[in-house]
Amino acid sequence: MSERRVVVTGYGVQSCVGCDVPSFWDALVNGRCGLGPVTFFDASAFRTRIAGEIPDFDPTKYMSPKEAKRVDRFCQLAIAATDEAMKTAGLPADLRDGTAVDPARVGVLVSSGIGGLQTLMDQIRVLGDRGCSRVSPLLIPMMISDIASGNISIRCGAGGPNLGIVTACSTGTHSIGESMWMIKRGDADMMIAGGAEASVTEIGLAGFSSMKAMSMRNDDPLHASRPFDRDRDGFVLSEGAGVLILEELEHAKKRGVKILAELVGYGATGDAYHITSPAPDGSGAARAMKMAMAHAGLRPEDISYINAHGTSTSLNDKFETLAIKAAFGEAAKRVAVSSTKGTTGHALGAAGGLESVACIKAIETGIVPPTINYETPDPECDLDVTPNTAREMPVEIALNSNLGFGGHNGVLIFRKFRG
């Protein structure tokens, strides 16, 4: 199994800072924040009234108007990101055309941390206003988190492993990591993998507001998400999708496609501590980092860059700092770290997909994107967080870390492809 190497041959994104990889990466590198006042609904009565929306997203660019009405927004975003990823990988939109790959050997694992919140809200209103007989028969298949994988599989003709993993904010990371193992053990030659989320809804914003987990810098949204800064006061909710095409190395070589990076490590652990707070000593996340490095045969000093979960919440950033120190030892003082959530906000289940793309672009370009809005150092977050300005440096190996409610920890390691 270990002889089957897994490479990345395609990527696609939908985000509040760009709806393709080039514009997304340009925003990250230049610290161009995509957060602003909520416009999707009247948020004037909410404790937090800012978010990362994709205001100009048009699903009919990717599907017919009829099809668009039959899928929730999170699934629309997943399909749009998949379309870009497939094009980047030199694949047709429909694998059943017989020109590219065996569709039975292509799987899909693209999921969501929360699923179709807007669809659920809309149909609860229908239930209350018009009665149970008027609830849409599409409610369940539009709402469930696995349906992104189902729709992508149907759309692309991908007949390999098809499932959804739900681990809150680490959903995208676990989806990519588990897809790696499916290829390594021979269940598929290619996987479409990542995460999508569209939770900027009334119930989504209300739920997180009630938890007091979000920033209240409503009058200054561009500076509201400030990972690792001493004056951080919570995350900023956003939407988006990040999808990778993973492929077995020899399969990719046979197709003659450009290889963007190699996926060499994956770690998944549980804190076994609390439903929303990370373990105070960072031990669960540290074990996931060590597991990923062990699978990859790497030492801490081999890692060039860490894209941290870095949510801009008091607990996450402090405990994640401890996790990096526990996993990396002395190397923690030297590794470049950043959180791109200052720019994008927190896209929940899509974060792992989006931030994996950021890691791959860092490897491709030799640029570490900055942690923006870093103004006041926090002695409890004393890593090299690449403050405010991108850094040009060789990035051979990048580690992506995402942590989710329920104590879910996911870590991926990408390496520059060397043949």
Check 346, 359, 381, 408 and give the catalytic one: 346
Distance CA 279, CA 320 (A): 9
Look at residue 261 and tell me if it is in a domain.
no
Domain identity same for 244 and 287: no
Q: Is the pLDDT of residue 267 over 70?
A: yes
Contact of 14 with 240, CB cutoff 8 Å = yes
The tally of domains found in the chain comes to 2
Averaged pLDDT of the chain: 97
List the domain range (segments joined by +) for residue 102.
6-255
| pLDDT given at position 2 | 58
CATH number, position 405: 3.40.47.10
- Compute the residue count for the chain: 419
Verify whether residue 309 is a known catalytic residue. Answer: yes
Task: Please enumerate in sequence order all residues whose Cβ is within 8 A of that of 285, keeping only pairs 6 or more positions apart, or say none.
Answer: 269, 271, 278, 279, 309, 319, 320, 323, 327, 401, 403, 409, 411
The answer to whether 346 is a known catalytic residue is yes
Q: Is the pLDDT of residue 1 over 60?
A: no
pLDDT level of residue 98 (50, 70, 90 thresholds): confident
Q: pLDDT tens digit string along 102-112?
A: 999 999 999 99
DSSP string for 264-284: EEEEEEE--S-SSSPPTT-HH
pLDDT tens digits, 29-60: 999 999 999 999 999 999 999 999 999 899 99
Q: Is 381 a catalytic residue?
A: no
Same domain? 322 vs 356:
yes
DSSP SS3 for 238:
strand
Taking the whole predicted model, whether its pTM rises above 0.95 is answered as yes
In this predicted structure, the answer to whether residue 100 has a pLDDT above a threshold of 80 is no
Please state the rounded mean pLDDT for residues 217-241: 98
Does residue 213 sit in the same domain as residue 288? no
- Shared domain for 211 and 314, answered yes or no, is no
Whether the per-residue pLDDT at 153 is higher than 80: the answer is yes
Q: Are residues 229 and 375 in the same domain?
A: no
List Cβ neighbours of 108 (8 Å cut-off, separation of 6 or more): 149, 152, 153, 156, 158, 160, 161, 162, 191, 192, 193
Q: Within this chain, do residues 139 and 278 fall inside the same structural domain, yes or no?
A: no
Q: At which residue do the structure tokens 């950021």 appear? A: 358
Cα→Cα distances 139→11, 70, 124, 132, 146, Å: 30, 9, 10, 12, 14
274, 178: one domain: no
The answer on 323 and 213 residing in a single domain is: no
Instruction: Mark whether 230 and 311 lie in a shared domain.
Output: no
Q: What is the pLDDT of residues 283-296, one digit of tens each?
A: 999 999 999 999 99
Based on the domain organization, do 246 and 277 belong to the same domain?
A: no
Q: Which of 174, 251, 295, 309 is catalytic?
A: 309
Spot the catalytic one: 75, 169, 359, 381.
169
Residue 260 lies in a domain: no
